[in-house]
Chains A and B, each alone.
Chain A
Amino acid sequence: MTDLDEYGRRARAWLDAHARDLPREADLQTARAFMAELYDAGYSGITWPAEYGGQGLSAAEERVFQEAARDATMPVGPFGIGLGMCGPTLLSIGTEEQKRRYVRPLLRGEEIWCQLFSEPGAGSDVASLQTRAVRDGDAWVVNGQKVWTSVGRQADFGLLIARTDPDVPKHRGITMFIVDMHDPGVTVRPLRDMTGQSHFNEIFFDDVRIAPDQVVGEVNGGWAAAVTTLLHERVSIGMGATRTERPTSFAAMSEAARSRGLLEDAAVRDQLVDLYVRERALDLFNARLSQEVRAGIQPGARGSVAKLLLAELLMNGADVASEILGPDAVAYEDGEGVVARALSFAPGMALGGGTNEIMRNIIGDRVLGLPREPQVDRTVPFRDLKVGTQVKEAGA
């Protein structure tokens, strides 16, 4: 038995003992308690440097743990943004003081983080953001609005990008900050999404003051910082993907078809086979990526492949499910809306963390090395661009 096998065996034993009966949608207190236990057992921040509270192990151990945790219920949802994106960004480009102050509490679930990137006028084109941070004596003063912010209501801190120089091209005038979400100038409003629930929030900043030592990376160097975060985001979503419960899985849908006597129908069988083939092909791809990581090959931008395929699988699954359930998929008695929920949720994966079109650009540019699209806004000062609400001003 290799060391990695032994590591996996111990991880499974721990998970069996500690993560078996927890509800996935646990309340915040339960979730925080679990994170503390996870941390104390040595499974939080597996690849993070030991000096800041991590375990200092390799990506191979991380993957082994992920595989072991596939079938465990770990209520880690509120910490996903911090663990997947904010923490890795701080470790990459944060100051020594920032790493010492923030990383350990993040790993123990004591402090929750959110990511403040998207704006109403800057979604896929994140660098067109209009939230401003202006230097005023001993502080930066932030005004503006962010949107699609997960865990914004629970968050203690946010990783914010804001415009600090509108006179240079848009990518060059952005700075990244750590913002205290409890600051009185921060207003969080839940945003209801198409599932009817509030996974996201919109956040308003009114004269929020941020100390200069809370700048992450260089002033006006925030675009590079944001790219670092977004890369972590895709890997994080891609890796989490296999854990996602699928009410529209092949197993669930073939059972539904069987109980409705629809397996006699060759067209239904063919749709189920198609769902099986897609599901299995993606599972096998994820498994192959895992084996590559264990062998020391890093997936890099190929994480975007997994995310794109998952988004398409979820939409396909919802289609197949609605064929099988027919009118029952869209009008049902309380508690029977599994497929309706899947239908509502399906477009989310194709939008969150970058749209499918953005994923295809990333695969084309970074995996296949294709020439980039010419970008007209690379050299124009931000002030002169037609961007979001700035369009009218530019036309005037």
Chain B
Amino acid sequence: MKLILDAEQKELAESVREFLAGTAPMARVREIAESGEPYDGRVWERMAGELGLAGLAVPEEYGGSGAGHAEVAVVLEQLGAALTPSPYFASAVLAANVLLLSGDEEAAKTYLPGIAAGTLVATFAVPAGPGPVARGEVLDGSVPHVLNGADAGLILVAADGAGGRGLYAVEPGAPGLTRTPLTTLDLTRPEARLEFAGTPARRIGPADAGEAIARTLDLAAVALAAEQLGGLRRCLDTIVEYAKLRVQFGRFVGSFQGVKHKLADMHCTLEQAESVVRYAAWAADESPGELPVAAALAQSYLGRAYFQVAKDHLLLHGGIGFTWEHDAHLYYKRAKGSQLLLGSPRSHRADLAERLGLLA
């Protein structure tokens, strides 16, 4: 079990952090968030091209650099800290993983090089409940929440067919496909509702891709936890700095126990959150048997932890924290959006209960 970063991983974190600070500072994040653009195309191009982030965990034979999930977690931590709007999670995490895990060599060869280069932005539409229905290679039904669903150049869909839940690829211009962008609380992360009405789709992998889909969702849970950790840490760092500068009643607010003790509790949360995320990322690479429990643990812990810290971070700023101009609400909204992105905390805890054998 490896719970601390090695020198190379620290270097990766530092280079991503510097890149984001230079190319996507908060002012730019706000511009994008309020513009209706899903993300900054030039930043994405450089992230994928110059830094090679989109193909980090894609095997070399498909044009990636073959690193592990622990490295993806390092990148996501920085993206979460900077709130960078990008299709990284949809394309490089969800879509790339499900393609790889489907075992469909031909599909991997067709799509992964583009995904790794960042020239193809893909997403994975996976409903929590019953999904679209596949009759042969035609889809009917809808998926209510799809990350980058309106702008993705390739849509992978989990749909129920004769042989079980399968994986299907839908082209953006396919007939019978309706993409409705949703208004999202978190302006930095676009979602859309996708509807399929007799939409032609290409099946990828076996008729029953249930296992690949489940494992993709576990990996996504770990990746999301890393992103949440980054945001949590940034919130805590920011509010600690503020508490050292802001004076009220003739004292630095950080010297009041009411504030100090809350910050201490937030730090305890961070220490545990980081430990849980490192463990889950390690399990994703090194101990597949532990992954289901580790993934459910990571979402059970991080979802609540990040929102709690983001909320306290906003509140401890006082009235200024409630203004549109302050960044606190962006983190608050990202934390809430992330908490619900892969299902509610309740559903992750129910999964955890099942995986711990409490239902047997």
Pair A284/B264 contact, Cβ less than 8 Å: no
Pair B254/A371 contact, Cβ less than 8 Å: yes
Q: Would you list which residues of chain B between 244 and 301 have a CB under 8 Å from chain A?
A: 244, 251-252, 254-257, 260-261, 263-265, 267-268, 271-276, 278-279, 297, 300-301
- 16 further A-B contacts with Cβ under 8 Å, apart from A364-B260, A364-B264, A372-B255, are A263-B359, A270-B353, A276-B297, A277-B352, A281-B272, A281-B276, A284-B279, A287-B1, A288-B3, A292-B4, A368-B240, A370-B255, A370-B260, A371-B255, A373-B255, A373-B256
Contact of A277 among B2, B244, B301 (CB under 8 A): B301
- Expressed in whole angstroms, the Cα–Cα distance for A274 and B8 within the complex equals 35
Q: Would you list which residues of chain A between 265 and 319 have a CB under 8 Å from chain B?
A: 269-270, 272-274, 276-277, 280-282, 284-285, 287-288, 291-292, 295, 302, 305, 308-309
Q: Which chain B residues border A365 with CB–CB below 8 Å?
A: 260
Chain B binding surface SS class: helix
Could you give, for residues 245-268 of chain A, a 1 whenever the CB lies within 8 Å of some chain B CB and a 0 otherwise?
000000000100100000100000
Q: Which chain A residues border B297 with CB–CB below 8 Å?
A: 276-277, 280-281
Q: Top 5 A-B pairs ranked by shortest CB distance?
A: A364-B260, A284-B275, A370-B254, A281-B272, A363-B264
B243 adjacent to chain A (CB < 8 Å): yes
A47 adjacent to chain B (CB < 8 Å): no
- Expressed in whole angstroms, the Cα–Cα distance for A72 and B191 within the complex equals 53
Pair A284/B352 contact, Cβ less than 8 Å: no
Pair B240/A371 contact, Cβ less than 8 Å: no
Pair B240/A370 contact, Cβ less than 8 Å: yes
Query: Using a Cβ–Cβ cut-off of 8 Å, how many residues does chain B contribute to the interface with A?
Result: 38
Q: Which chain B residues border A367 with CB–CB below 8 Å?
A: 264, 267
A341 adjacent to chain B (CB < 8 Å): no
Q: Which chain B residues border A272 with CB–CB below 8 Å?
A: 353, 356, 358
Q: Which chain A residues border B252 with CB–CB below 8 Å?
A: 370-371
Chain A binding surface SS class: helix
A360 adjacent to chain B (CB < 8 Å): yes
A361 adjacent to chain B (CB < 8 Å): yes
B349 adjacent to chain A (CB < 8 Å): yes
Pair A364/B263 contact, Cβ less than 8 Å: yes
Q: Would you list which residues of chain A between 214 and 228 have a CB under 8 Å from chain B?
A: none
Pair A361/B251 contact, Cβ less than 8 Å: no
Pair B275/A357 contact, Cβ less than 8 Å: no
Pair B267/A368 contact, Cβ less than 8 Å: yes
- Expressed in whole angstroms, the Cα–Cα distance for A308 and B254 within the complex equals 20
- How many residue pairs bridge A and B at CB < 8 Å? 118
Could you give, for residues 340-381 of chain A, a 1 whenever the CB lies within 8 Å of some chain B CB and a 0 otherwise?
000000000000000001011101110111111110000000
* Nearest A residue (CB) for B254: A370
Give 15 pairs: A residue, B residue, CB < 8 Å, sorted on A: A254-B356, A272-B358, A273-B356, A276-B352, A277-B300, A281-B273, A285-B272, A357-B257, A360-B257, A361-B261, A363-B264, A367-B267, A368-B267, A370-B244, A371-B252
Pair B244/A374 contact, Cβ less than 8 Å: no
Asked if A285 meets B271 with Cβ closer than 8 Å, knowing A270-B353, A369-B244, the reply is yes
A373: min CB distance to chain B, Å: 5
Asked if A309 meets B260 with Cβ closer than 8 Å, knowing A277-B297, A360-B265, the reply is no
* Nearest B residue (CB) for A295: B4
- Expressed in whole angstroms, the Cα–Cα distance for A263 and B360 within the complex equals 9
Q: Which chain A residues border B254 with CB–CB below 8 Å?
A: 364, 368, 370-371
Query: Using a Cβ–Cβ cut-off of 8 Å, how many residues does chain A contribute to the interface with B?
Result: 39
- Expressed in whole angstroms, the Cα–Cα distance for A285 and B3 within the complex equals 9
Tell me which of A270, A308, A360, A369 has the highest count of chain B C-beta atoms within 10 A of its own C-beta: A360
Contact of A281 among B301, B352, B353 (CB under 8 A): B301
Pair B358/A254 contact, Cβ less than 8 Å: yes
Asked if A360 meets B272 with Cβ closer than 8 Å, knowing A277-B297, A370-B240, the reply is no
* Nearest A residue (CB) for B260: A364
Asked if A288 meets B263 with Cβ closer than 8 Å, knowing A282-B272, A361-B257, A371-B251, the reply is no
- Expressed in whole angstroms, the Cα–Cα distance for A62 and B302 within the complex equals 32
Q: Which chain A residues border B264 with CB–CB below 8 Å?
A: 308, 359-361, 363-364, 367-368
B247: min CB distance to chain A, Å: 10
* Nearest A residue (CB) for B349: A273
- Expressed in whole angstroms, the Cα–Cα distance for A254 and B252 within the complex equals 46
Q: Which chain A residues border B356 with CB–CB below 8 Å?
A: 254, 272-273, 276
Pair A284/B276 contact, Cβ less than 8 Å: yes
Pair A371/B267 contact, Cβ less than 8 Å: no
- Expressed in whole angstroms, the Cα–Cα distance for A370 and B243 within the complex equals 7
- Expressed in whole angstroms, the Cα–Cα distance for A379 and B138 within the complex equals 82
Contact of A269 among B243, B268, B353 (CB under 8 A): B353
Q: Which chain A residues border B4 with CB–CB below 8 Å?
A: 288, 291-292, 295
B305: min CB distance to chain A, Å: 9
* Nearest B residue (CB) for A367: B267
Pair B255/A374 contact, Cβ less than 8 Å: yes
Q: Which chain B residues border A291 with CB–CB below 8 Å?
A: 2-4
Q: Which chain A residues border B274 with CB–CB below 8 Å?
A: 288
Q: Which chain A residues border B255 with CB–CB below 8 Å?
A: 370-374
- Expressed in whole angstroms, the Cα–Cα distance for A302 and B251 within the complex equals 26
Asked if A287 meets B244 with Cβ closer than 8 Å, knowing A272-B358, A364-B260, A364-B264, the reply is no
Q: Which chain B residues border A282 with CB–CB below 8 Å?
A: 272
Pair B358/A269 contact, Cβ less than 8 Å: yes
Q: Which chain B residues border A292 with CB–CB below 8 Å?
A: 4
Q: Which chain B residues border A288 with CB–CB below 8 Å?
A: 3-4, 274-275, 278
- Expressed in whole angstroms, the Cα–Cα distance for A287 and B352 within the complex equals 22
Q: Would you list which residues of chain B between 322 and 360 have a CB under 8 Å from chain A?
A: 349-350, 352-353, 356, 358-359
Tell me which of A273, A302, A357 has the highest count of chain B C-beta atoms within 10 A of its own C-beta: A273
Q: Which chain A residues border B353 with CB–CB below 8 Å?
A: 269-270, 272-273
Q: Which chain B residues border A287 with CB–CB below 8 Å?
A: 1, 3, 275
Asked if A284 meets B272 with Cβ closer than 8 Å, knowing A277-B300, A364-B260, A374-B255, the reply is yes
* Nearest A residue (CB) for B277: A284
Contact of B352 among A273, A361, A364 (CB under 8 A): A273
